[in-house]
Amino acid sequence: MAQRVNYRCEYCQAPEAVFNFPFEVEHIVPLSRQGSNDEANLALVCHSCS
């Protein structure tokens, strides 16, 4: 997934190298709202955006 988004936060587009924390993977549509664990429903996000 990180390669798919070029190691950038999918929301603010900041590169992962800028942060002291590793990026997190979160659901675009939460599981509680019938979202899935498919890669299409996952976003790589920085600490600021998560």
In three-state form (DSSP H/G/I as H, E/B as E, the rest C), the secondary structure along the chain is CCCCCCCECCCCCCEHHHCCCCCEEEECCCHHHCCCCCHHHEEEECCCCC
Domain range enclosing 33: 1-50
What pLDDT score was predicted for residue 33? 97
Question: Residue 46, Cβ neighbours under 10 Å: how many?
Answer: 21
Output the pTM of the full model. 0.78
Question: What's the total number of domains in the chain?
Answer: 1
* Burial (CB count within 10 angstroms: exposed 0-12, middle 13-18, buried 19+), residue 49: middle
Residue type, 6: N
pLDDT in tens, the chain (50 residues): 788 889 899 999 999 988 888 999 999 999 999 999 999 999 999 999 98
Beta bridge partners of 44: 25
